Amino acid sequence: MARSVRGLRKVEEIKEIWDSLTYDQRLAATAFIFQQLCEHARTSGTYRKLIYDRLGFGLDAYWVLLPEGKLISNEFSLKARDNMQSEEKD
């Protein structure tokens, strides 16, 4: 799916910020995000719980992170539901 010019600029800006971080900062940020995503996958939860409680962002982050963040959170919720249904059948 093609992104709008605004979306491309956003992606370019995000990449520019990422590239400005040191290797250790990128590694630490990625490790933290992975830890939080794994915990979110284990315990499930809403998109809001992921960005506000686990990642510590404010309300301004909701729309910025929505496309990818909601997809990730929803996938984890669906997998948790499927796992619960599978356990109930056993």
Residue 57 has pLDDT above 60, yes or no: yes
58: DSSP letter: -
pLDDT of residue 40: 87
**Residue whose entry in the numeric block shows the structure tokens 């315990």:** 43
pLDDT digit string, tens, across residues 4-52: 555 656 888 889 999 999 999 999 999 999 999 988 888 878 888 999 9
The predicted model scores a pTM of 0.68
Contacts of 44 (CB under 8 A, 6+ apart): 76, 77, 80
Domain layout of the chain by residue ranges:
5-89
pLDDT of residue 9: 64
